[in-house]
Structure formats: C-alpha cells, structure tokens
A and B are shown apart, each in its own frame.
Chain A
C-alpha cells in the first residue's frame, strides 16, 4: 500500500486524469446544458431539443453561418495551395533556420496585432485609394495570412518521409516538372494536404478577433456568437456551442487520421 502511494507513476497518471477532466468538463457541461428544457444552467428541467429547433429557424444565425462557410472554404483553398507550394519549397530548396522560424510568425503573432495591422492597411490602401468596402474578401485575405503557416507545417510533416528518388525517376523518364508534381508528388502528399485543409477550415470557421476587425459590416458566425454572449446570453448559445465543438472535433480527428504524424 505504502509502495503504491509512493509510486510517482500513479500520481502522474492521476494528474493527467485531472488535466483531461479540466480540458473536457467545461465542454461537456455546455453539451449537457444544450439539452436542458429550461435553458438555464441553474436547474435541470428535462431533456429537450427545443434550443436546437430555435437555432435552425434563426435567420440571423443561419445567415452568419453561411457567410462563415464561404469565407472558410475560399480562404482554405487559397491557403492550402500556397502553403503546399511553400512547404515543398522550404523542404527542397532552402536550408535556412531563420526562414524556418519566420514561417511561424504569422501563426503565432497575437490575433489583435494582425487584426489592427490589416484594418489599418485595408483602410489606407483599399478603402482610401480604391474605394472598396470591407467584407467577405477582407476576412478571406486575413485568414489566408495565418492559415498558410498551419498548412505549411502540416504538409512538411508529410514531406519529411517522402522518397525523393521516385520524383527523380519520373524526371529521368522524361516527364516535365509539372507532370511529375501532378502525377507523382501530389498523390503521395495528398493525405497531408487534405489534413492541412481540414485544420485550416476549422481555424477559419472558429476565428473571431481578426474577423471582428476586418469584416466591416459583415457578420460572420463567430461575430454573431460573440454578440449573443456579450449582450445577453440566450440558451441557444449552448446548442450552437455544441454544434461547433462537434463539427471541429470531427474535422480535426479526420485530419489526424489522414496524417498521423502531425500531432
């Protein structure tokens, strides 16, 4: 008994259990509350799906969700294409520690700094000189900035195990570089590219701060959720939160399955 109590492995195991509880309990609470008939966190009055029913007929929420899906889809396409090329370039053409470090900057720069920098820049160049109004495009451009970092990092994990001799064989046999990329390189790294796209899509769907500053009068899904939380919490939030959490989990787990090395 004494030996068991002193075994550090047991204590560490219990600690990890508590850490996982800390990480998942708050999410679990929201999921349970989303099915509470009364909609209040204070008393359980029975199981009900009424808050989900009121979400699916709420035009504001649906409209914001549609806008966010468009932003996420377009920014994911652009970031995945650019990020994949960048990963290839960094892995094959350069060996520069500074550049490898710089690639992470757009991913870890505080969102508020990226947000105000882009707002200032858009205002000066696009609104000031070109007379364009902020909207979908300005959020898409902003999301591409940080998503290139994540796509590049994930695709690189895939490239590290790439056997370059199959590319050389293709080139030796007379295929040009574009054909070699299309027929050899891309199929091999495709799981990594799709995994990266799934993560980029999730990040864009959930992104609030940068969109809040750069969306102009457009209301994205996270902006809608923020205003619901900030100015009077309604029980619908729990249902929305549950959907967001479940969708994010599914996308990220799918991504991890496709490219297990990326954790």
Chain B
C-alpha cells in the first residue's frame, strides 16, 4: 500500500467525520450569525450585523460577565483543592498512585446530570445540609443554599475537579525530587521551595488543569439550569433558550461564536505558557 493510501485508510475516516459533522456545522453557525431570524423562527438569509450589535447589549454582556466570573471562581477553587490532592498522590509510593487516581477520576465518568442532581438533594431547603443544622439548633432558618451563585460553583467544582487533578498529577509526578532536595539543602524553607521550585516547574500542568476546568464551566448548561434556578443566567442557558425557546437561531449562533472565540483565546494563552515552560521542564525531566 502506498503511503498516501495508508494515510487515507487510517486518518481519512476520523478526519472526514470531523470535517462533515464538526467543521461544517461550525461554518453553518458562523453563517447563521450574519442572518436574520424569521417571523416564526427559522433563518432568513439576509445579511446583517444586528446579532453582533445585540450581543453587545449590557443585558447580554452581563450574562457573559457573570459566566466568566463563575468560571474563574470555579477554576480557582478547583486549583486550590486539586493541587494539594495531586501533590499528595504524586508523592505516594508507586503502587498507590494508580488506585488513588482511579478513585479520583471514577465519578467523572458517570452521568453529569445525576451528579448535579445529587447536589439538589444536598443543598435543598429541606436537604441533608440544612436539616441537621436546624435539628441541632445551629441555625433557625434554612440556609438559602440552592439556586444561587454558591450552588453553581459547588456543582461545577464537583463536576470538573477530576479534570484539574489529573494534569496536575502528571506534571508533579514528572518533577525531579532532587530539585526540591537541592533547594532544601541550600537552606530554603518548605514554603519557599514550593513557590520557587515546585509551582514554576508544574506550570504546564496548572495551565492544562485550569483550561480543562474553565472551558466546560464557562459554557455549562446543566449546572446553572438545575442548581442556579434555570433562568438565562449563564451563557450556556442563554444559547439554549435562544435555540429552543425564543427560536432566534441567528442570535444563539452569535452567542455560541462569542463563547468559542473566548475559548480559543484561552487555548492560545495556554499554548504560550507551555512553550515558555518547555526548556525548563525538559531540564527537570
């Protein structure tokens, strides 16, 4: 078989599938963003920039701002929780690492919908957090835990924490322990060793983990829908309601493009961090 034929057989089906069912659909979304909504829904093929002007309305910028804020908080919380956990796993004896990692990742592979629902049960006014507190007399009124920003952040951290821990683990595990020992032997205190040696050398893992949590949080639809009270509060809900309720596909397409653009920018930033980091981590390897 010639090299070209081999390429066609092996790479062709996958790249072809993505070309037809991912690249082309995204082109359709791009095209729709320049058209108008018909009176009864549908798309009227008249060129217009109205959707972009409308997306800059403070109402929608507010939704985008709130989504960014939630995604930033979620990512920060996941990093703070995830880093020490990943560090601990990476410094265990080899035979413990895989079982611990499997325990961390296992919940991630089960239904996101059901994992989010579990928090509805826990955070409810009469849920399993409020009831014991009420019964013990610690609080007089049920805490408003559900249908707010707090609930959304908990749901997202819960959903995506494994995606933070995995790349952090990979980066920390690759780190040469002698570098830390050298810094310690030269008199650096543990805190200083951590911030001047460990963190800079695991920047690749930090960047990857942050992207893996930030991207799906930003566009999430299920968590704000179920734990946030179901209004159009995050950009994912707004896109959903434009497509399925308001039937304004061109505007929904414009919002989806805004989301994709934001994420592309982040991916470029991440690639830069990784490239800058490469020579250093190669030495450490």
On whether A15 and B85 interact (CB within 8 A), knowing A82-B17, A86-B14, A92-B10, the answer reads yes
Say whether chain B's binding surface is mostly helix, strand, loop, or mixed.
helix
Shortest B142–chain A CB gap in Å is 12
Contact present for A23 and B161 (CB under 8 Å): yes
Residues of B within 8 A of A186 (CB): none
Q: Which residues 97-128 of A sit at the B interface, judged by CB distance below 8 A?
A: 105-106, 108-114, 116-121, 124
Contact present for B244 and A124 (CB under 8 Å): no
Q: Which residues 2-28 of B sit at the A interface, judged by CB distance below 8 A?
A: 3, 6-7, 9-11, 13-15, 17-18, 21-22, 24-26, 28
Contact present for A29 and B25 (CB under 8 Å): no
Q: Give the nearest-CB partner of A91 in chain B.
A: B10
Q: Which residues 86-115 of B sit at the A interface, judged by CB distance below 8 A?
A: 87-89, 91, 98, 100-107, 109-115
On whether A253 and B102 interact (CB within 8 A), knowing A144-B17, A177-B1, A206-B111, the answer reads yes
Total chain B interface residues with beta-carbon distance under 8 A:
83
* B143 close to A (CB within 8 Å): no
Contact present for A118 and B25 (CB under 8 Å): yes
Contact present for A114 and B109 (CB under 8 Å): no
Residues of B within 8 A of A108 (CB): 212, 215-216
On whether A229 and B120 interact (CB within 8 A), knowing A117-B28, A208-B113, A263-B101, the answer reads yes
* B145 close to A (CB within 8 Å): no
Contact present for A206 and B256 (CB under 8 Å): no
Residues of A within 8 A of B100 (CB): 16
Residues of B within 8 A of A144 (CB): 17, 21
Shortest A139–chain B CB gap in Å is 12
Q: Which residues 184-229 of A sit at the B interface, judged by CB distance below 8 A?
A: 199, 202-203, 206, 208-209, 213, 222, 225-226, 229
Shortest A164–chain B CB gap in Å is 14
On whether A116 and B29 interact (CB within 8 A), knowing A252-B109, A253-B106, the answer reads yes
* B37 close to A (CB within 8 Å): no
Shortest A126–chain B CB gap in Å is 11
Shortest B237–chain A CB gap in Å is 9
On whether A252 and B29 interact (CB within 8 A), knowing A27-B118, A116-B243, A177-B1, the answer reads no
On whether A26 and B7 interact (CB within 8 A), knowing A13-B88, A16-B100, A117-B25, the answer reads no
* B81 close to A (CB within 8 Å): yes
Pick from B18, B28, B105, B259: contact of A113, CB under 8 Å: B259
* A12 close to B (CB within 8 Å): yes
Contact present for B111 and A245 (CB under 8 Å): yes
* A88 close to B (CB within 8 Å): yes
* B221 close to A (CB within 8 Å): yes
* A141 close to B (CB within 8 Å): yes
Instruction: Give CA–CA (A17, B249) in the complex, Å.
Output: 46
* B179 close to A (CB within 8 Å): no
Instruction: Give CA–CA (A90, B14) in the complex, Å.
Output: 11
Instruction: Give CA–CA (A106, B216) in the complex, Å.
Output: 12
A-contact 0/1 string along B203-221, CB 8 Å cutoff: 0000000001001101111
Residues of B within 8 A of A222 (CB): 111, 113
Contact present for B128 and A148 (CB under 8 Å): no
Q: Give the nearest-CB partner of B123 in chain A.
A: A26
Contact present for A26 and B115 (CB under 8 Å): yes
Contact present for B240 and A112 (CB under 8 Å): yes
On whether A120 and B124 interact (CB within 8 A), knowing A112-B219, A148-B18, the answer reads no
Residues of A within 8 A of B167 (CB): none
Pick from B91, B119, B219: contact of A110, CB under 8 Å: B219
Q: Which residues 228-256 of A sit at the B interface, judged by CB distance below 8 A?
A: 229-230, 233, 237, 240-241, 244-245, 248-249, 252-253, 256
Closest 6 A-B residue pairs measured CB to CB? A89-B10, A110-B219, A86-B14, A121-B25, A26-B118, A117-B25
List 11 interface pairs A-B (beta carbons < 8 Å), by A numbering: A20-B104, A42-B131, A85-B9, A85-B13, A117-B28, A120-B32, A121-B21, A225-B111, A225-B114, A252-B109, A263-B98
In the complex, besides A108-B212, A230-B225, 13 extra interface pairs with C-beta distance below 8 angstroms are A12-B88, A16-B84, A27-B107, A27-B118, A85-B13, A93-B7, A112-B259, A113-B259, A145-B17, A148-B17, A230-B230, A252-B109, A253-B102
Binding site for A on B (CB under 8 A): 1, 3, 6-7, 9-11, 13-15, 17-18, 21-22, 24-26, 28-29, 32, 81-82, 84-85, 87-89, 91, 98, 100-107, 109-115, 117-122, 124, 126-128, 131, 158, 161-162, 166, 190, 212, 215-216, 218-222, 225-226, 230, 236, 239-240, 243-244, 249, 252-253, 256, 259-260, 263
